[in-house]
Structure 1
Amino acid sequence: MRVVRETDSVLSEWREQALRFEREIARVVLGQQRVIRLLTIATFARGHVLLEGDVGVGKTTLLRALARAIGGSFERIEGTIDLMPADLIYHAHLGEDGKPRIDPGPLLRQGEDLSVFFFNEINRARPQVHSLLLRLMAERSVSAFNRDYHFPHVQVFADRNRVEREETFELPAAARDRFLMEVQVAMPADEAARRSLVFDTRFHNVDALLTEVKHGGLDPATLETIARAIQSGVRTSETLETYTLALWEAIRAPRAFGIAIDGVDMDRLVHGGASPRGMSYLIRAARVRAWLEGRDMVVPEDLRAVFPEVMAHRIFIDPVYELRREGIVGELIARVFERVPAP
């Protein structure tokens, strides 16, 4: 295996920028090193991300810090039960002269320069809004005013809290599949981080805190070129590909691999594993992870490092187990890693 050389063209220089990008975010978001690494992987894989976690754990702060560190044009919208698709496209109001006016909404305000679109509390929005977001994520375009608007560099980040269930709408499977990752944001485990978040007044004013993040460390247009270079420059061996296909088959047919979970009928648990698109997302993320680790070849550790976040929401299970989904799917993935031997 060849370690990426310091002189290895532009990728080496950009790897250093990516690591600086992580450090910038970590300065204002404490105790979330793994989450920050996953968001960095998604950024350089050019994939959309959904964050999920309890109220007040810093999901919005994390995404605002990430948007500032990336740079480019940034827009956000708050999910509400009365939000309609048109609210993303335009804003109708009365001007100072009393005449009706129509201004561009958050999707169109920055034109094709839109780089980061942040949807806060996405599960509060109606399915009609989810449909519009799905097209934006899948095609990087929307239709409005008898024309198509294209956003060649847009990356969608969204968050939802899992505490409140009233006046919320679950994302359809098709929409969730468009997210490269679903990332769980938990309370920081480190006691020092918890102490700082509670007692250090620096973390009590989020707006002032975010000014500490260097703005525009990454160029959105160049990111697309670097992302393609990473995918073509980081290789997978035939052995690794065989291992990946075995993981895929084990997720789809766990009973055939001798996988058992207490209290679960394994014959009916999995209705569908990941699609080929989902598996391609897994490899895309694994290549970026290998690059960040300074390698030009994917190893099993790269797959396992991103597997839960890339694959868990693409495993469709029997509705009878849905309320226990997080624990069951987490255990299923752990058992798959145990049963499928790594090369």
Structure 2
Amino acid sequence: MQHRSDVEAADALRQAYQQIRSEIGKVIIGQDEVVKFVLVSIFSNGHCLLVGVPGLAKTLLVQTIAQVLDLDFKRIQFTPDLMPSDIIGSEILGEDRNFKFIPGPVFSNIILADEINRTPPKTQAALLEAMQEKAVTAAGITHKLAKPFFVLATQNPIEQEGTYPLPEAQLDRFMFSVALNYPTFQEELQVVKNTTSTIQTDVNKILNASQIIYFQQLVRNIPVTDHVMEYAVKLVSKTRPNGEFASPQINRLLSWGAGPRASQFLILGAKCHAVINGKYSPDIEDVQAIAKPILSHRIVRSYHAEAEGLSAADIIEQLF
């Protein structure tokens, strides 16, 4: 049984989440699922990849979240000529003839890595190393990054010319890969009304950096029953072709399955999902609710699945 203070803290996180949602809703119309997954990944201390065509307010979403959470925000536009030092910073020779480190934009709480697939692997790797280590190394000296540290990367799925798709091993660093869809007719009407007039929308700050770090720790402390833990690990194991839990159908549809990091993120994400929905411990429904954006970028479809027009989401649905 949790301590009374843990229960109160869980309630406080749920209330804060609802307030954050309503503040973001003043600016961002629709995209409820996307907002939910971005917030779950922040509270789970993970990173998020958004895949969607331009003009779906990805930058505005991240700016708004940074405002509501009272965090520093930097946007890095990834281009083919971007160098690792443009992200992490570089050493310069000062007036006193000594080298000093000038931090790059990665030294911020929230980083929007815009069109991460537009830059060569060397530069992608610099950001991905920072995501993993929460630190950067320049001239042999390690510099710690700010806490909390959250990367939201965007990828444009249509213009593939001149792009460098993230390899599977690097995609694995992202807790979620979330697909953004076009707004509904009513949502788009509302967006156009809001953005073509002089109305200014102000959002209130709901949390700050130290409160977010506190809630991230709280999420890790949420207890999980053995059967939910086993369900999550088994779900991931089912994606591995020719593994002990893989069905003949999966052996045919997938050529590669998810690794252990997927199991870790399923449990962390399920804990956070449970808390924001008023529960003090996750159940199987919480694991299922976040499974698609956690597993979809970690499985590789076979040519059978591609020939049959089955998406990663369709295949994950079969696992349930």
Q: Which TM-score bucket, shorter chain as reference?
A: 0.7 to 0.9
How far is 1:221 from its partner? Answer: 2.8
Q: Which moved more, 1:153-162 or 1:54-63?
A: 54-63
CA contact (8 A) 2:75 2:114 kept: yes
* Residue 247 of structure 2 is aligned to residue 278 of structure 1: no
* Residue 254 of structure 2 is aligned to residue 238 of structure 1: no
Change in 2 beyond 3 A, CA 1:169/1:4:
farther
The TM-score, its normalising length taken from structure 1, stands at 0.81
Match of 1:335 in 2: 318
How far is 1:145 from its partner? Answer: 4.3
Unaligned runs of 5+ in 1: 94-100, 109-113, 261-265, 338-343
CA contact (8 A) 2:252 2:304 kept: no
Q: Secondary structure at the match of 2:290?
A: helix
Match of 2:239 in 1: 251
Match of 1:222 in 2: 211
Q: Secondary structure at the match of 2:137?
A: strand
How far is 1:257 from its partner? Answer: 5.7
Equivalent residue for 2:135, pick from 123, 130, 141: 141
How do 1:105-184 and structure 2 match up within 5 A?
105-108=104-107, 114-151=108-145, 152-184=147-179
Name the aligned partner's letter for residue 224 of structure 2. Answer: T
Root mean square deviation, CA, Å? 3.0
How far is 1:239 from its partner? Answer: 2.4
Number of aligned positions between the proteins: 311
Equivalent residue for 1:212, pick from 181, 193, 202: 202
Equivalent residue for 1:203, pick from 195, 212, 215: 195
Name the aligned partner's letter for residue 261 of structure 2. Answer: R
Q: Secondary structure at the match of 2:282?
A: coil
* Residue 301 of structure 2 is aligned to residue 317 of structure 1: yes
CA contact (8 A) 1:60 1:159 kept: no
Unaligned runs of 5+ in 2: 93-99
Q: Secondary structure at the match of 1:285?
A: helix
Q: Secondary structure at the match of 1:251?
A: coil
The TM-score, its normalising length taken from structure 2, stands at 0.86
Percent identity, please.
27
Match of 1:12 in 2: 11
Name the aligned partner's letter for residue 247 of structure 1. Answer: L
Q: Secondary structure at the match of 2:111?
A: strand
Aligned counterparts of 2:276 and 2:4: Cα–Cα separation in 1: 13
Change in 2 beyond 3 A, CA 1:169/1:306:
same
Q: Secondary structure at the match of 2:76?
A: strand
CA contact (8 A) 2:239 2:246 kept: no
Change in 2 beyond 3 A, CA 1:243/1:146:
closer
Q: Secondary structure at the match of 2:51?
A: strand
State the Cα deviation string for residues 268-308 of structure 1 (Å, max 9, x = none): 54233221122111110011000000101211211111001
Name the aligned partner's letter for residue 319 of structure 2. Answer: V
How do 1:15-94 and structure 2 match up within 5 A?
15-90=14-89
Q: Secondary structure at the match of 2:279?
A: coil
CA contact (8 A) 2:292 2:313 kept: yes
